[in-house]
A = this chain, B = another copy of it.
Amino acid sequence: MERSRPAKPVSVKDVAANSGVSFQTTSKVLNGKGSVSEQTRKRILSAATDLGYVPNILARSLVTRSTQAVGVVASNFSDPNLSRFIVGAEQEARRQGHAVIIASIEPDGTGGHRAVRALIERRVDGIVLADPPANEDARYARLMKHQIPIVSLHDVPGGGLLTVGSDHVQTGLLATRHLTDLGHHRIGTITGPHGGRVAQSRLRGYRQALGEAGLADDLTLVEESDWQISGGFEATRRLLSRRPDLTAIFTQNDTMAIGVLSALHTLGKDVPEACAVVGCDDIEMAAYTVPALTTVRVPFYEAGAEAIRLLLKMIASGSSGLRGTLLPVQLIARESSGAG
């Protein structure tokens, strides 16, 4: 009884024909609307399952003007933080009955406009942006015109977008203060690219902690890198060749911190005895590095979920009167700072 190949999907009309009512009535039953007698209701329902009816959301969306789908624009799905953020978003979206369409941008940061346009073509109800903007205000200004609800993980310069994130200054502050509290005086730091807001904010927190402890804020203490493991590795060598006297390094994310640990290992420096290390983010790996990494936990999963919640509220309420969310961060002390 196998059907042949091109068997096109059964539509509500097929179900209707099979149960002797109009297709509009069938639609009502399938959606639990209107009033239909129990008898025909049963008949329609059983016809639907017999035929293996699967509603066509595209057609539905066309008339309801809502796709029950949200778009996620991200730069790098492999990044552990972004990955957690996206998982949080996906699960919350699913919980609320929305599908997720992903649109990635190029590693070099371009293609954001293309990605957003593709999502709009598919008429997503809203967009979550997890794309650190390389201050390309113009690009986003343009897309704002489409007046589609957007929630962003990062501040967008001229955007006025709703943002869900964490307090990066506080993150840098907690990490560095932890080190000064432990009595360190010569604390270096490895940052992300200086163009980025996150790097700037975490650096500000670092400096604030140094200030609180009465320590000088020396430019030779700061080494710029690229958020990657290999970048952290190389930055460590540069930093230590310039300042071999450091007793601690604050690294602006855990990924680079892994490279830092690796570099210190190859340099024969014990962690934390010869040099303490503190990271940021608390990626899953952080608890299992050798030695385990002290870090500041940033709730990316929760941020993703919150971004969706906010987005759906925006969609429901017509974008009115909502404020972004700033999620709290928390120090997680482990071995690499000698405080675990």
Q: How far is the CB of A236 from chain B (nearest CB, A)?
A: 12
Q: What is the 8 Å Cβ interface bit string for chain A, positions 129-163, against chain B (1 contact, 0 not)?
A: 00000000000000001110000000000000000
- Is the Cβ of B284 less than 8 Å from the Cβ of A229? yes
A56 part of interface (Cβ distance < 8 Å) = yes
Chain A interface bracket (under 10, 10 to 19, 20 to 34, 35 or more): 35 or more
Q: Do A261 and B290 form a contact, CB below 8 Å, given A78-B84, A91-B104, A122-B57?
A: yes
CB distance from A125 to the nearest CB of B (A): 12
1/0 per residue, CB under 8 A from B, across A82-107: the answer is: 01101100110010000111111000
A196 within 8 A of B: no
Are B104 and A101 in contact, with the CB atoms below 8 A? no
Which of A19-27, A59-67, A170-178, A185-193 forms contacts with chain B?
A59-67
Write the A243-285 contact mask toward B (1 if CB under 8 angstroms, else 0): 0000000000000001101100100000000000000000011
Q: Which of A39-47, A113-121, A323-331 has 4 or more CB atoms under 8 Å from chain B?
A: A113-121
Q: How far is the CB of A305 from chain B (nearest CB, A)?
A: 13
* Interchain CB contact (< 8 A) of A288 among B9, B91, B259: B259
User: A55 near B: Cβ within 8 Å?
Assistant: yes
A30: min CB distance to chain B, Å: 12
- Cβ of A121 and Cβ of B55 under 8 Å apart? yes
A332 to B: closest C-beta gap in Å: 16
Residue in B5, B77, B94, B120 whose beta carbon sits within 8 Å of that of A104 in the complex: B94
Which residues does chain B contribute within 8 Å of A90, judged by CB atoms?
77, 102, 104
Chain B residue numbers with a CB within 8 Å of A57 are: 121-123
Q: Which residue of B lies closest to A145 (CB)?
A: B52
Say whether A265 contacts B291, CB under 8 Å: yes
Within 8 A of B (CB), among A290-325: 290-292, 318
Q: How far is the CA of A84 from the CA of B78 in the complex (A)?
A: 6
Q: Specify how many copies of this chain sit in the oligomer.
A: 2
Name which residue of chain B comes closest to A232, CB basis: B288
A289 at the interface (CB under 8 A from B): yes
10 extra interface residue pairs, beta carbon distance < 8 Å, beyond A57-B121, A230-B288, A258-B288: A5-B318, A54-B121, A56-B123, A57-B123, A58-B62, A58-B122, A58-B123, A77-B83, A87-B104, A101-B101
Q: Which residues of A contact B (CB under 8 A)?
A: 3, 5, 7-9, 52, 54-59, 61-62, 65, 67, 69, 77-78, 80, 83-84, 86-87, 90-91, 94, 99-104, 117-118, 120-123, 145-147, 229-230, 233, 258-259, 261-262, 265, 284-285, 287-292, 318
21 example contacts (A-B, Cβ-Cβ < 8 A) are as follows: A5-B318, A52-B146, A54-B120, A56-B62, A56-B121, A57-B121, A58-B61, A58-B67, A58-B122, A69-B122, A77-B87, A78-B284, A87-B104, A90-B104, A99-B101, A229-B284, A229-B285, A229-B288, A262-B292, A289-B289, A290-B290
